[in-house]
Amino acid sequence: MALQVTGPQTILMRLDSPLRHSLVSIAAALALAAPLPLSAVEDQGQLPLDELRTFAEVFNQIRQGYVEEIDDSTLLEYAIQGMLMGLDPHSVYLTEDAFQSLQDTTSGEFTGLGLEVGMEDGYVKIISPIDGSPAAEAGLRSGDVILKLGNVPVKGLTLNEAIEIMRGPKGSKIELSIGRPGQSQPFEVTLVRNTIKVASVRESWLEPGYGYIRIAQFQSGTGADVRKSLEKLMSQEKLKGLVLDLRNNPGGILRASVDVAGLFLNGGNVVYTEGRVANSDMYYDADPLDATDGAPIVVLINQGSASASEIVAGALQDHRRAIIMGTQSFGKGSVQTVLPLSDSRAIKLTTALYFTPNGRSIQAEGIVPDIEVERATITAYNTPRQITEADLSGHLDNINGNSKRKKTEASPLLTDDNQLYEALALLKGLNILGLRDRQPAAENPGDS
């Protein structure tokens, strides 16, 4: 049975008196929260009476029988949290501290452990540690599950409650119990909270001509920072190839991902979103400017690459502008909108899904790399030096005058970061093939 809402009294006349006080609070809250007048709500749909009656009964039983007295406003706040938790892992109610924390994170500086986390099966799952944070330095990984925060079991906590426990003053300690896939027993790690300054972008040369740009998180100024990094590299040397490292990048601001992808494209769509509300259907296109002058690009991703990272990787993959290398990404293909309720509180609500230019939804699927390379520990196999022609007594010298063989040594990247090593090797191969395509083939001396 459904009931059209015209005012609190319409409901109260049909219910027993023990529920009246509860429904006054509930109906008042509904009336205050509704973005439209109640007459408009009446035109758009009906509220289910049976479910509303059950809700009011539970509300009243808690008020009267719970072991500790809880005021109505707190109970209604708990109800809001429960509604959002039941939707998806990313829709949450932001209390004053959580709202401020979100604003601090997107601005690039906050105090804490340096973890991007989500909720899965009642536990807090690490999406990725932030570069240079206490969590990253302690070796925590994407996919790790937090079982306990100090002596507090995570099971049963909301995501906001878990985050509140993890945050604290600089220099304070907290012990985490961690479950890691592939390990039968959990382990403990003690972290010291610190000021997390998220350096959104950093750049370097891997070798002469081969640049490297690491994006740790997509903040409001990330697009401009990547442009500056490119300009800095290209002012020093001709860019033969670029590695764009998005591993363990949990995402961030949607607009920033569009700005970054646009730096490597000559126009075209970067991403589009679709949702129920009219203004959630949006198309984001790149400016017709490739800031790299067409240099080959390899994008590195892994399980910790989420959201905005997947937008960039998906766009460059669909436009065949870059080769995606690494392991399958996280698979967060939804858009969250922060809707302020007051100056200090808000809800973060999933309002749309995003799609790559070719119409692929990444939700719960992720970006599949063009070339899969697992992160592994590689040891160079050093064999005793073999005798070569140059070692033989009386050997003929090279006719071109090259009499010395180069001594080869394993690149430090091979043992430090095998995925980055493979990306650099691929860029070198692409550059060699590109040079050969631009040069005439050598003629056979016997041809006429």
Q: Where are the domains of the chain?
A: 2-70, 92-107+109-197, 201-372
Percent of the chain with pLDDT over 70: 82
131 or 294, higher pLDDT: 294
Helix axes 159-166, 96-107, angle to 10 degrees: 70
Identify whether 307 is a catalytic site residue. yes
The token pair that represents 128 in the structure block? 């990725």
User: Which CATH superfamily is 92-107+109-197 part of?
Assistant: PDZ domain (2.30.42.10)
Answer whether 347's CB lies under 8 Å from 93's CB.
yes
Q: State the pLDDT at residue 40.
A: 42
Selecting among 22, 307, 329, 334, the annotated active-site residue is 307
C-beta neighbour count of 127 within 10 angstroms: 24
Work out the mean pLDDT of the chain and round it to a whole number.
84
What SS3 state is found at 420?
A: helix
Helical H segments across 34-71, by residue range: 38-44, 49-65
Residue with tokens 């300054």: 197
Confidence of residue 61 (pLDDT cuts 50, 70, 90): very high
What pTM value is reported for the model? 0.77
Helix axes 20-33, 49-65, angle to 10 degrees: 120
In this predicted structure, the answer to whether residue 322 has a pLDDT above a threshold of 60 is yes
List, for residues 271-318, the tens digit of each pLDDT value.
Answer: 999 999 888 899 999 999 899 999 999 999 999 999 999 999 999 999
Answer whether 349's CB lies under 8 Å from 339's CB.
yes
CA distance 253 to 255: 6
C-beta neighbour count of 6 within 10 angstroms: 12
Helical H segments across 130-280, by residue range: 134-137, 159-166, 222-236, 254-262
CA distance 121 to 377: 31
Q: Which of 358, 367, 264 is nearest to 306 (CA)?
A: 367
Answer whether 263's CB lies under 8 Å from 289's CB.
yes
Selecting among 91, 128, 332, 348, the annotated active-site residue is 332
CA distance 234 to 216: 21
In this predicted structure, the answer to whether residue 187 has a pLDDT above a threshold of 90 is yes
The CA-atom distances, in angstroms, between 441 and each of 437, 438, 444 are: 9, 9, 9
Selecting among 131, 144, 245, 318, the annotated active-site residue is 318
279 or 26, higher pLDDT: 279
List, for residues 343-378, the tens digit of each pLDDT value.
Answer: 888 999 999 999 999 999 999 999 999 999 998 888
Q: Do domains 92-107+109-197 and 201-372 have the same CATH topology?
A: no
Q: State the pLDDT at residue 24.
A: 53
Q: State the pLDDT at residue 435.
A: 59
Please identify, in words, the CATH class of the domain defined by 201-372: alpha beta
